[in-house]
């Protein structure tokens, strides 16, 4: 296999889980404890270019115009080792990433980041992987990245080993007027990474077995709500699933939370808007930012309400987005 003679660029979008992945069966391979389901988002994405070069003695990683120190690029370099092994190449790589996502603020930049890296690095190493293979490879970087290979509504089948744990598209171009209003409530790095947080939940939360049972039902319900185009069922189930995940953080030992005061207020505002007759629901990942699932037609009104409270720059409206693209 020959390495590419020029940088290869891949673009992958983030996704927001409606049924969350929270807990691993295998830490090394990143095999989850439950199936999850997400929407890929149009507005937030990572663009990564990779070139393997015989002249390099170390991998060089530049992230939003900043060269990463060895410690900061460890996960990326380990990931590149996996790609080298798969492709049978030994050259080190030059990696340049631009993140169009508020990093580590719960808008899932590791999902788009590792999906884009999987696409660019595998092609640059001379591999031509199918989307399923790409999804398996992206999973080795970060679990949620496995779903960012596809657009629209995407499921991640838990599986039991590397070959059986991958994402598949449920509805790549949904003909459905759905929008996500994302509230940026904190931009700093989170204190407890999702990796640490989910491990703590698996090991210490007495509610973890209940999470497995309910997430199975939630997965089936959300999947059905998509095929039936039942917006309220989709929104309600997603909101419940997110809160069940966050109950695992509160019931871990030591307990912790990703909520801040603004997150609690934003969730209350969503409940108030619902009482006023608007069909909208919230979800949150491993950070304080709240994402509101609504109909596209209602998005401007909902965004205006939140802009008044949190400032115009902290409210972003996005629609379902596309899957990965790789440019030679």
Contact 223, 37 (CB under 8 A): yes
Q: How far is the CA of 310 from the CAs of 262, 276, 297, 303, in angstroms?
A: 9, 20, 21, 10
Task: Looking at residues 179 to 208 of the shown chain, list those that interact with ligand DP6 (rule: CB under 6 A).
Answer: 194-195
Paired tokens of 10 = 């891949």
Which residue carries 């960012």 as its tokens?
148
Nearest approach, Cβ of residue 142 and ligand DP6 (Å):
3
Radius of gyration of the chain (CA): 19
Q: Closer to ligand DP6 at the Cβ: 36 or 314?
A: 36
Q: Is the peptide bond before 254 cis (omega within 30 degrees of 0)?
A: yes
Q: Closer to ligand DP6 at the Cβ: 51 or 97?
A: 97
Enter the DSSP assignment of 169: E
144 binds ligand DP6 (CB under 6 A): yes
160 Cβ contact partners less than 8 Å away, ≥ 6 residues apart:
25, 31
- The 3-state DSSP class for residue 218 equals helix
Q: Closer to ligand DP6 at the Cβ: 30 or 129?
A: 30
The region of 14-22, 48-56, 125-133, 157-165 touching ligand DP6 under the rule CB under 6 A is 14-22
What's the CA gap between 299 and 178, in Å, rounded?
Answer: 9
Characterize the bridge pairing of strands 60-63 and 92-100.
parallel
142 binds ligand DP6 (CB under 6 A): yes
Q: Closer to ligand DP6 at the Cβ: 27 or 85?
A: 27
Contact 324, 116 (CB under 8 A): yes
Nearest approach, Cβ of residue 120 and ligand DP6 (Å):
18
The region of 17-25, 217-225, 272-280, 313-321 touching ligand DP6 under the rule CB under 6 A is 17-25
Nearest approach, Cβ of residue 64 and ligand DP6 (Å):
18
132 binds ligand DP6 (CB under 6 A): no
What's the CA gap between 276 and 266, in Å, rounded?
Answer: 15
Q: Closer to ligand DP6 at the Cβ: 89 or 198?
A: 198
- The 3-state DSSP class for residue 18 equals strand
Residue 126: its H or E element: none
Q: Closer to ligand DP6 at the Cβ: 30 or 41?
A: 30
The region of 78-86, 118-126, 140-148, 292-300 touching ligand DP6 under the rule CB under 6 A is 140-148
If you count them, how many residues does the chain have? Answer: 328
- List the one residue from 14, 33, 36, 49 that touches ligand DP6 (CB under 6 A): 36
The region of 15-23, 40-48, 213-221, 310-318 touching ligand DP6 under the rule CB under 6 A is 15-23
Task: Looking at residues 275 to 314 of the shown chain, list those that interact with ligand DP6 (rule: CB under 6 A).
Answer: 285-286
Q: Closer to ligand DP6 at the Cβ: 51 or 99?
A: 99
The binding site for ligand DP6 (CB under 6 A) comprises 17, 20-21, 30, 36, 108, 110, 142-144, 194-195, 285-286
């Amino acid at each position: 296999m020959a390495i590419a003679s020029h940088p290869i660029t891949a673009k992958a979008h983030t996704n927001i889980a409606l049924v969350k992945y929270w807990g691993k069966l295998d830490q090394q391979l990143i095999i989850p404890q439950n199936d999850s389901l997400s929407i890929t988002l149009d507005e937030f994405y990572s663009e990564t270019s990779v070139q393997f070069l015989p002249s390099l003695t170390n991998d060089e990683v530049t992230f939003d115009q900043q060269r990463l120190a060895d410690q900061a690029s460890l996960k990326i370099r380990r990931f590149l080792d996996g790609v080298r092994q798969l492709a049978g190449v030994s050259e080190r790589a030059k990696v340049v990433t631009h993140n169009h996502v508020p990093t580590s603020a719960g808008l899932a930049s590791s999902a788009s980041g590792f999906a884009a890296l999987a696409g660019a690095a595998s092609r640059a190493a001379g591999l031509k992987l199918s989307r399923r293979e790409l999804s398996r490879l992206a999973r080795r970087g970060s679990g949620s990245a496995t779903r960012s290979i596809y657009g629209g509504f995407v499921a991640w089948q838990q599986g039991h080993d590397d070959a059986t744990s991958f994402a598949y598209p449920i509805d790549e171009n949904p003909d459905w007027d759905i929008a996500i209003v994302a509230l940026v409530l904190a931009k700093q790095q989170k204190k407890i990474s999702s990796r640490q947080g989910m491990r703590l939940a698996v090991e210490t939360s007495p509610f973890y077995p209940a999470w497995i049972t309910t997430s199975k039902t939630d997965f089936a319900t959300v999947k059905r709500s998509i095929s039936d185009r039942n917006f309220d069922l989709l929104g309600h189930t997603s909101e419940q699933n997110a809160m069940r995940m966050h109950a695992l953080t509160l019931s871990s030992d030591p307990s912790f939370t990703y909520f801040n005061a603004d997150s609690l207020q934003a969730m209350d505002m969503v409940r108030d808007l619902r009482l006023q007759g608007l069909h909208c629901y919230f979800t949150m990942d491993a950070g304080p930012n709240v994402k509101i699932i609504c109909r596209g037609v209602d998005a401007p009104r909902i965004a205006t309400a939140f802009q008044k409270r949190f400032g115009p720059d902290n409210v972003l409206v996005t629609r379902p987005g596309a899957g990965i693209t790789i440019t030679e």
